Chains A and B, each alone.
Chain A
Amino acid sequence: MIAVLALLAGVLLGLWLDPTVPAALQPYLPIAVVAALDAVFGGVRAKLDRIFDDKQFVVSFISNVLVAALIVYLGDQLGVGGQLSTGVVVVLGVRIFGNVAAIRRHLFRA
């Protein structure tokens, strides 16, 4: 419950502060969001599996976002940015799907 409230607080904070993203960071924003989603669904699933761990959640969130951004950055430097970000999205998407499927099994037993 508190986590949901905190999420809402973050959203409101973001809407209220309305920060401008520096142009250099703009290409990484969508990838960072996908990586963050992966961390969130992983955390929810771990919670439902009763193996949730604060430290693991924090570390996985931060490292996911950073690694995803780093891969895209490297890809941009090598001239394969589009393909690499597709790869990142595919991998993270597979993980999100798997975790959401597990969550669904937990919640609906189906």
Chain B
Amino acid sequence: MSDDSGQSRRGPKGFTPDFLTELFRNPLDPGYADAAARRAKTGRAARSGWSVGPVGLVVVVLLGFLFAVAYRQTMAEEPGRAQARSGLVEQIKQRQGETDALSTRAEQLREEVNRQREAALGGSHAARLRELEASTGLGRVRGDGVVVELADAPAGQDALSDTDAGPAQVIYLDLQSVANDLWGAGAEAIAINGQRLTSTSTIRSAGQAILVDFRPVTGPYEVSAIGPGSLRERYEASGSALTMRQVAKVTGMSFAVRDADDLTLPAAPEPRLRYAEPAVSPSVSSSGGDESSGSGTSPSPSGGGR
């Protein structure tokens, strides 16, 4: 080693032009070799064993001190990070709770408004209003229909399917196509995990989450639909049902359609129309709306006639 370092020091300055090569070939400080050469010249023997001079000892103590301090520092930062994370989780939970409480309150207030309105309006007007609300998704509805259940593949079953990205998951397109085909099969009201679909509803994805009307829904997903007695047969024959059955068979996702009696679908939150205004005179539009709601299943918001 010593001859290597001796060879590496060219010239009196002890620097070589190619720093990186030198670094890889001889990582030891050249100073040690210099000192050894000096000692050899003066004839002083190097210390033997593991003894170090007093100054060296102080430095070694300092080293231990530095390590301990750095260790302490890193350890001290760790709970801070964990605390921040748990604090954030706490906040999310709290806000979710607040949102739930507020939407329950909104629900109650809406019922209250409905009751007051019915009391104020005459019987026939109130009945027509209720019907309109039910058909547009703004009122609670009851009836027989079907429930389509979708769930992610359980973790660990992905070994059977040759996916690289973990277990197969339900994506927003699945929910979209299920909802569309349910409209197509004659459904008059649809709710996904208790989120009623209206004419302005969206089903989209944000990262890993699926948002229905900007509210996140999580699996297992339950798409409830109220429709005619033949709803299930007609839906089973649709494209999304066939596709999802095949997908479920291949990937281990679960997909099931069952008849359900006496479903109650909740009301959707009131859509705030900020830009669109009723265009024609109210008498004409109301009679037109009445007719179309009477004719039933055709006003499907997301392309039911696929």
Residues of A within 8 A of B (CB): 1-4, 6-15, 18-19, 21, 26, 29-30, 32-33, 36, 39-40, 42, 45-47, 49-62, 65, 91, 94-99, 102
Chain B interface size band reads: 35 or more
Give the residue name and chain of the B residue nearest to A21 (CB): B73
User: Which of B27, B29, B55 contacts A54 (CB under 8 A)?
Assistant: B55
Q: Mark B66-101, 1 if CB is under 8 A from A, else 0.
A: 111111110000000000000000000000000000
* Interface membership of B153, Cβ < 8 A: no
**Assembly CA distance A98 to B23 (angstroms):** 9
Q: Known contacts A4-B50, A6-B60, A95-B27: does B68 contact A13 (CB below 8 Å)?
A: yes
Q: Which residues of B contact A97 (CB under 8 A)?
A: 27
B36 within 8 A of partner (CB): yes
Q: Quick check: A95 and B23 within 8 Å, CB to CB? A: yes
Interchain CB contact under 8 A, A14 and B64: yes
Shortest Cβ distance from A38 into chain B, in angstroms? 9
Beta-carbon contact of A2 and B24 below 8 Å: no
Distance from B65 Cβ to chain A, minimum over Cβ atoms (Å): 4
Quick check: B51 and A8 within 8 Å, CB to CB?
no
Contact (Cβ within 8 A) A61 B24: no
Q: How far is the CA of A9 from the CA of B57 in the complex (A)?
A: 10
Name the B residues within 8 Å of A91 (CB-CB): 23
Which of chain A's residues have a CB closer than 8 A to the CB of B63? Answer: 7, 10, 36, 39-40, 61
Known: A49-B2, A56-B29. Is A29-B60 also a contact (CB below 8 A)?
Answer: no
Query: What is the interface of chain A mostly: helix, strand, loop, or mixed?
Result: helix
> Assuming A6-B61, A7-B60, A94-B24, is B67 touching A52 (CB within 8 A)?
no
A-B contact pairs, 7 of them (CB 8 A): A2-B52, A11-B68, A14-B69, A36-B63, A51-B2, A99-B27, A102-B27
B64 near A1: Cβ-Cβ < 8 Å: no
With A29-B69, A33-B67, A102-B1 in contact, is A94–B27 under 8 Å at CB?
yes
Q: Which chain B residues (7-54) contact chain A, with CB distance < 8 Å?
A: 23-24, 26-29, 31-36, 39, 46-47, 49-53
CA A14 to CA B71, docked complex, whole Å = 9
Cα distance A42–B64 when bound, in Å? 16
Q: Given that A9-B64, A11-B68 are contacting pairs, would A46 and B52 also be in contact in the complex, using a CB cutoff of 8 Å?
A: no
| A32 to B: closest C-beta gap in Å | 6
